[in-house]
Chain A
Amino acid sequence: MSEPLLDRVRSIAADVLEVPTATITPATSPEDLDTWDSVHHLNLVLALEQEFNLQFEPEEIDQMKDIQHILDILGSKVA
């Protein structure tokens, strides 16, 4: 996992989920953040799709249980 990918995801997630960047770690999940509801989850998906210029499969969106899963899915698609 390259550092820049983690940084980019943390920065986008912090903006979309309305929390300081420091709050976002690979382990952060919807359980940890009140703001991470279904609407914000969709906003996060759209923000990532726009930032990385790609589309997630519905199954991939379902697998995004925490930041680490997002990094894994992105890593496999960006590579």
Chain B
Amino acid sequence: MVAVGEASAARRALAELWAHEASPSAASFVVQRLEQLRSSLPLQPYRLAILRSFTVEPMVPLLRAAAFCAGIDLTVHVSDFNAHVQAIMDASSSLYSFAPDAVVLAVQTRDIAPDLWNDVTGLTVAQIRSSIIRVTDEFQAWIRAFRQKSSAHLVVHNLETAAFPAAGLLDSQSNSGQSTAISEINRSLTTLASEQTGVHVLDYDGLVARYGRACWHDERKWLTVRLPISAPHLNDMVQEWMRFLHPLAGKIAKVLVVDLDNTLWGGVIGEDGITGIKLGTEYPGAAYQAVQRTLLDLHRRGILLAICSKNNRDDALDAIENHPGMLLKPEHFAAMRINWTDKAQNLREIASELNVGVDSLALLDDNPIERQQVRVALPEVVVIDLPSDAMEFARRIRDCPAFERFTLSNEDQQRGAMYQAQREREQLEQAITSREDFYRSLQQEAEISPLTKASQSRIAQLTNKTNQFNLTTRRYSEQQISELVSQPGWNCYSIRVRDRFGDNGLVGVAITKQNGATAEIDTFLLSCRVIGRTVETAFLSFLADHARSNGATYLQGWFLPTKKNAPARDFYSAHGFRAGEQNGDGTLWTLDLTSNSLPAPEWIRLHIVNGDK
């Protein structure tokens, strides 16, 4: 048995080995150590099934090693060759009995559309059209059947186009060529996936093109062992799968903390001055503008940016505000620590200021010493490895899978602005002495609504990423939530909060089930953005009223403690619930609705939206 401290040091060493050399033998080594360490480390278990038309086995250890280094204990099930149709259609297949969290459907163009791949020059325009329709229909049938039988996520590889189109130059001279036909299938596949929840497209054609079709393939391995991908690119396929696994397993960074000198610009502001630093449209400043453009893309994806830099604050702010080459402006940063304090301490403070866990932070810093210090002091921070050449920086950021998302809600896009409003709120709070005066001055309005099609994706997103104010930390997919709510007695509510500084968006979720006289709170969570503003009391008060009017005499809820949900620990006791049964995972709290009232705070204007579930 390895001690916990040793285990996390061992994990760091394995992650370093893996970052240095992602080879098959290193993968095998990492996976074997994983088997020994898994009980001593806080790993997230995840089950992935791969349905395939080609050999993927050599990639499985690589994938498990990569997942392990990302904190995921991955179990992989691989289907038989070309058995995907049977696996999907037959509810008793080994696919479903494996109970996957996610399924990858990796079928090659040559297998699903052999006519378009091998014989396209012999086909008429009408025959090509009917092939497109046949393949699209097949994908549609598989996706729908899968959705009916499983609530797991489905990641579908799209189809690659040929490196050398069969008709040569002729292929791109008309709209009925091979490449056009395959692209058309891919467009339809994107539409099909967007119509279903939890179905995602992996752009395999784009992936192969990124590395070059001629380099990606290994014809002799394909012909001998049905492995189409050449040895150097096996890990690129694995990294692409990891891009999906990160958001699927909730291993995502919400905040990217950036250094300034030699990271956002070239040179050292304290020495080179605002006219001396390198930042602009020409080399060498262009490399740093490319970094800033990449960060701006992340900001628009809902990822918060923060600054942590050892500098004189005034020099640094002057450059950020006034340098003509800056694409990022002060308003893009949700928090700043420009001082001479040690990085790990600053990172802890940034996490606390932004109300996120330290494991929601990623670090971008050109200095390997600082990176190493953070890796050791705060192993849960995602540290982006940077080479010495600044022209590589932007790509390294885009490569980082912790910033991947499947959906982009309005909340995501406006998150940066919301945090700016939050800073103004905090300034107000400091100016007002009484808590109640502060609550009143916020002029909060809350709207509670039953589950709707439009809110479903945000609700699922919140159940998956809310860690702090979350009583039970139950993670649900969109599909699972709509299944729960379709059962008698179950309800799902969400709460939106507005205040004088703006709209906070949809920030809370409650899922309840009522069985006779007892209503149980299955899930109760609130985004950290609104914690401590009595919104949680208003929401709980609504649940109590609702349960009472449906004839319940008891309102119950479990508190299941995790490493992160301490902010929710006293929630039930503070609202008059009594502790009862303990099952080892947590405590069941009960409120007697006949002898207790649970009034909503008078300073929140509450709107209840009625509607069928």
Residues of A within 8 A of B (CB): 11-12, 15-16, 18, 39, 42-43, 46-47, 49-51, 55, 57-58, 61
Contact = CB atoms under 8 A, between A and B. Distances in A.
Given A15-B26, A50-B232, A43 B58 contact: yes
Interface of B: 23-26, 28-29, 32, 55, 57-58, 61, 218, 220, 223-225, 227, 231-232, 234
Contact of B220 (A15, A39, A42, A58): A58
Given A42-B58, A46-B234, A50-B232, A11 B224 contact: no
A70 B28 CA distance: 19
B24 A16 contact: yes
Contacts of A18: 28, 32
Given A42-B55, A42-B227, A49-B231, A11 B28 contact: no
Nearest to B23: A50
Given A16-B28, A39-B58, A42-B227, 17 more contacts: A12-B25, A15-B29, A16-B25, A18-B28, A39-B57, A42-B57, A43-B24, A43-B58, A46-B58, A47-B24, A47-B28, A50-B231, A50-B232, A51-B25, A55-B218, A55-B220, A61-B224
11 contacts: A16-B28, A39-B57, A42-B225, A43-B57, A43-B58, A43-B61, A46-B24, A46-B58, A47-B23, A50-B232, A58-B224
A18 B36 CA distance: 13
Contacts of A16: 24-25, 28
A46 B234 CA distance: 10
Contact of B24 (A50, A55, A61): A50
Contacts of B28: 15-16, 18, 43, 47
B38 to A, nearest CB: 16
Main secondary structure of the interface of B (DSSP, over half): helix
Nearest to B26: A15
Nearest to B29: A15
A47 B25 CA distance: 6
Contacts of B227: 42
Nearest 5 CB-CB pairings of A with B: A47-B24, A15-B25, A47-B25, A15-B28, A58-B224
A15 B32 CA distance: 9
A35 to B, nearest CB: 10
A9 B223 CA distance: 26
Contacts of A58: 220, 223-224
A61 B55 CA distance: 17
Nearest to A15: B25
Contacts of B25: 11-12, 15-16, 47, 51
Residue of A16, A18, A46 most packed against chain B (CB within 10 A): A46
A11 B23 CA distance: 13
Contacts of A11: 25
Nearest to A57: B220
Contacts of A15: 25-26, 28-29, 32
Contacts of A47: 23-25, 28
Nearest to B55: A42
